[in-house]
Chains A and B, each alone.
Chain A
Amino acid sequence: MKAVCWMGKERIEVHDVPDPKILNPRDAIVRITTTCICGSDLHLYNGFVPTLEQGDILGHEFMGEVVEVGPGVNKDKISVGDRVVVPFTIACGECQSCKDQLWSLCDNTNPNAWLAEKLMGYSPSGLFGYTHMMGGYAGGQAQYARVPMADVGPIRIPDGIPDEKVVFLSDIFPTGYMGAENCNIRPGDTIAVWGCGPVGQFAIRSCFMFGAGRVIAIDRLPERLRMAEQAGAETLNFDDVDVVEALKDMTGNHGPDACMDAVGMEAWGHGVIFAMDRAKQMTRMQMDRPVVLRQAIMACKKGGTVSVPGVYASFIDKVPMGAFMNKGLTMKTGQTHMMRYMQPLLERIQAGEIDPSFVISHKLPLESAPGAYRMFRDKQDHCTKVVLKPWEQQQAA
């Protein structure tokens, strides 16, 4: 089959590789009909997350048809022929974390848990296509994928809804939704959302679903800010204003009730501290550039909540812990507990409350992945979200 392989920093190649096979009793094989590139993949592309291997297959946002299931799979939950969306977190459904609905913290799905424990104390769940520290599972930017614990994660999709409307149930819609849920929104609250990428877009819309009165969205890409405005958000361009000061003004010196970092470890910024972050990242002294996290803590109202769906990989410097402590803030974060949200959000899509396909800017064949990664990373051609089609041929140039 064809698969998108990480061959090194900023080196993405499409290769012919062996088809995946069932390795464990609860595995299934899915023939992929639609797959996507995520902002999280850019951290891998840029080489900022350790423990990828040359030749690893990327991708964690995919859907398709079940073509094979292992002997241990509960056939009531999933069987051959089903059309499914596969969540990016892999969960066993039986451990205490799973029982507590903390699906992205499953105890039993990371074969390299020892490696994650060294960096984090305890290991989160395995993820598709997201480094060996997170399990090393081959990803879904391919024609087929092996899906472990297939009777827990994948959700059946009825015929008649196009892929484009449901594929984002695999990650970014639930991620934006959990980011909003983690804001502890009370009706009428003001929420500031940093980052108007796909995650930010779903987060903004989800904040309104939770009853937010105002959402203030921050980015610098005009097309993304416009998309945020279409959802009813006010916007700030961080190239033009001092964000923390602007938020203070806009809220009458009160501060947003919650601040959401939907940017993560590769935030852009200005000034001396940002320059230091950049230098440290380049020399590998610091993997993350926590510009937004710092701003979110400083901007948040007293007693407010900081929600962090943006991904961080390791240690960060100069986090204003004094502000965090003395203002009595709460922080909530995590890889998304996918299985909590997929069914209820599918129902919202079916009810016509939201059509997630609005974020798609590019639909391309799988072979275009190398260029698509670059375009999405550099935000060229108004690229907001790339959807890849594994079975479509590249147009002859």
Chain B
Amino acid sequence: MNQSNLPFSRQASSQFPFGSKGLLLGAGALMLYGLTRRSKSGLALATAGGVLAFRAAKPQSAPQNTRATFLVNTSPERAYVLWRDFQNLPRFMAHLKSVQVLEGNRSEWIAVGPMDREVRWTAEITGERPNELIAWRSLPGSDVETSGSVEFRRDPLDRGTYVTAEVRYRIPGGSATAALAGIFGKHPEFMVREALRRFKSLVEAGETPTISGQTHGPRGLHGRTEEVLFRETTNHPEPQAASGLPRIA
């Protein structure tokens, strides 16, 4: 297999068993776990998590790796068709509200960030190889500068299709990731991974798992904080419609 295709080859090594990105998120988990414990020891844990997060975040001014690969139990043909119909994208990209296909190779994308703030861009398809690759980028005049590509590769061992997505963002005039995280409320790396995970669920199971809108008891102050910490309130798109996506036979 072509090593340079593998997303982890570029990862910096770390003395922690998680890798630097994992460390950042792990630190987050430690913090939130500490915070939910409502005790002195919990507070200590949260502080420890904060220190870890700081250490993990510091060396990250280097370019962000926003690329991920998921093995999906389907054929490249089917995966390609689903992705190529851009109107399907909001069904697995949780930050998108809608994608409208326009004339020619163009489409209008609307994303929602924190406080329901809308971010819009017009994209054009810049490359396309049926059943293998789709690439796009935003046109001048958009709220963000973004480009992306997705590649479909049949597993030679016949376990499905490797779907590799790569997305780059830049705020016109702005800096890097922090601003982006502000716009979408999430780290771009996280967004790409979650998009692929949802794509896999949609293709395989016919729907993406959700608990958004489910019933629960009184949350209180603690419960509401925890909802945010565990992303219950922000991580999930609206319920998925069943239409158009037959399950794998």
Chain A interface residues (CB < 8 Å from chain B): 1, 3, 5-8, 13, 15, 17-21, 23-26, 47, 50-57, 70-72, 92-96, 99, 107-115, 118-119, 126, 132-133, 135-138, 146, 148-149, 283-284
Contact = CB atoms under 8 A, between A and B. Distances in A.
A3 B205 contact: no
Interface of B: 18, 22, 25-26, 29, 33-34, 36-38, 41-42, 45, 73, 159-160, 190, 193-194, 197, 200-201, 204-220, 222-223, 226-227, 230-232, 235-236, 239-242, 247-248
Contact of A132 (B207, B230, B239): B230
| Chain B interface helix/strand/loop/mixed | loop
Of B41, B73, B215, which is in contact with the most chain A CB atoms at under 10 Å from its CB? B215
Given A24-B209, A113-B197, A54 B223 contact: yes
A7 B211 CA distance: 19
Given A18-B215, A24-B239, A25-B207, 17 more contacts: A23-B212, A51-B36, A72-B242, A92-B204, A94-B248, A108-B200, A108-B208, A108-B209, A111-B208, A111-B211, A114-B25, A114-B193, A115-B29, A118-B29, A136-B211, A138-B214, A284-B45
B73 A95 contact: yes
B215 A138 contact: yes
Given A118-B29, A149-B205, A56 B230 contact: no
B41 A111 contact: no
B207 A72 contact: yes
B211 A25 contact: no
A20 B211 CA distance: 11
A15 B217 contact: yes
A93 B249 CA distance: 11
A16 to B, nearest CB: 9
Contacts of B33: 50-51
Contacts of A71: 242
A17 B217 contact: yes
A56 B216 contact: yes
Contacts of B73: 94-96, 99
Contacts of B18: 118
A365 B2 CA distance: 61
12 contacts: A3-B217, A6-B217, A53-B222, A53-B223, A70-B242, A71-B242, A94-B73, A94-B247, A96-B73, A107-B204, A114-B25, A135-B211
